Amino acid sequence: MPSIQFTLSTKNTFAKSITDARVWVFAMDAEGKVVGNKAEWVIGGKKDGHPALESGKTENFSLVVPTSYVSPLHLGQNPIHKDYHG
């Protein structure tokens, strides 16, 4: 199944540590149709137990979102190629 990797960056501007945060990412195609989504704990969470984000710190998070979208490039139909008749 195709997927898209997202990298999110967050900075804790609060005086205290952030102990739990969950993100939900939606991937959309050019027409605005949702072709994939994923929710994941990036800070805290009971199952994974990601560490807290300390005050003033910045952290990057990577998520891989499975998607139903297959671009013409994945199908071998390069829309830039002169022989493409999509």
Pairing of strands 3-11, 58-66: antiparallel
Q: How far apart are CA 48 and CA 60, in angstroms?
A: 17
Helix (H) / strand (E) containing 31: none
Task: Kindly report, residue by residue over 5-58, the tens digit of the pLDDT.
Answer: 889 999 999 999 999 999 999 988 888 888 899 999 999 877 777 899 999 999
Question: 59-85 in b/e burial notation, b at 16+ Cβ within 10 A?
Answer: bebebebebebeeeeeeeeeeeeeeee
Q: What is the pLDDT of residue 29?
A: 83
Q: How confident is the model at residue 81 (pLDDT cuts 50, 70, 90)?
A: very low
Q: How far apart are CA 57 and CA 15, in angstroms?
A: 11
Indicate the residue type of 37.
N
pTM of the model: 0.67
